[in-house]
Copies of this chain bind each other. A is one copy, B any other.
Amino acid sequence: MEVETGGSLMRSGQAGESAVDAVVQQIRDLIASSRLKVGDSLPTERELCAQFNASRNTVREAMRILKAYGLVDVRPKIGATIIDNRMSRAFELFSFNTMELSRKSFSDVQALRGLLEVGSAEILVDKVNRSDLNELNDINAELAANHDLNEASEIDYAFHVRLVSILDNAAILDVYAVMKPVILRIMQKGKTRRTFMTETFSEHQGVIDALAARDRLAFQYRLRTHLMFGARHFSQEMEATA
């Protein structure tokens, strides 16, 4: 078994701990000892240099690690603030080697979308507000404009992301970010049919209307139908090319 070398998450003071890893550990300790929470600020880079007797480049490399792990957000002039994007990072890491574009992946992703979008109807009709509806309308209006296949798919995707964003659930948004490539492929497949764009537009419109009326059943029916049509087109396409 390969021993974990160069690990920046190295536990307590290892022998061959590099200066950068030491600074990472010290910043972690600082966060813990100072009881820093999400939203709090870290000292400036130069202050950290002085505090840890490290050069600025070393501190910066340590910060890069913390940024990569989704623990801090660094902005010029603002400084480093503590965040917790670890879930997003985990999904991003995972997205590299998962979700290959097999037929089963497509149907699995569609099923997952169905569970999330249709299943959250109750919460959606409860939480949806005026600006949500406005933005959904805007996105859908954009869909009606002339776009090529890829642009239209992006807009279609944006519509569904905006829909689930009403839930205010970061985990679900992360899931959608991971599935994005697959979802786009599904949509592109479906859009090869000529009438697709107008169909999508009117189906989306029906979803929005049901949402505006806070009609859960209509919302579920229309959204489920919408998703199933996409799946059906896709199946036909796949069978034709298989």
> Are A108's CB and B5's CB within 8 A?
no
Q: Is A28 in contact with chain B by the CB < 8 A criterion?
A: yes
> Are B91's CB and A178's CB within 8 A?
yes
Q: How far is the CB of A94 from chain B (nearest CB, A)?
A: 5
Task: Point out the residues of chain B lying under 8 angstroms from A96, CB to CB.
Answer: 9, 28, 69, 71, 86
> Are A171's CB and B179's CB within 8 A?
yes
Copies of this chain in its oligomeric complex = 2
Q: Which of A158-195 contact B (CB under 8 A)?
A: 165, 167, 169-172, 174-175, 177-179, 181-182
**Which B residue's beta carbon lies closest to that of A20?**
B64
**Interface-centre pick from A6, A70, A93, A177 (highest chain B CB count, 10 A):** A93
Which of A41-49, A114-122, A223-231 touches B?
Answer: A114-122
Task: Give the size category of A's interface with B.
Answer: 35 or more
Q: Is A142 in contact with chain B by the CB < 8 A criterion?
A: no
Assuming A38-B102, A98-B32, is B108 touching A172 (CB within 8 A)?
Answer: yes
> Are A109's CB and B171's CB within 8 A?
yes
8 additional A-B pairs beyond A6-B67, A70-B93, beta carbons within 8 Å, are: A65-B67, A68-B69, A71-B99, A84-B99, A84-B101, A86-B97, A108-B171, A111-B167
A selection of 15 A-B contacts at a CB cut-off of 8 Å is: A8-B64, A9-B92, A31-B98, A36-B99, A64-B65, A84-B102, A84-B105, A86-B101, A87-B109, A87-B179, A89-B90, A90-B93, A94-B178, A99-B174, A105-B170
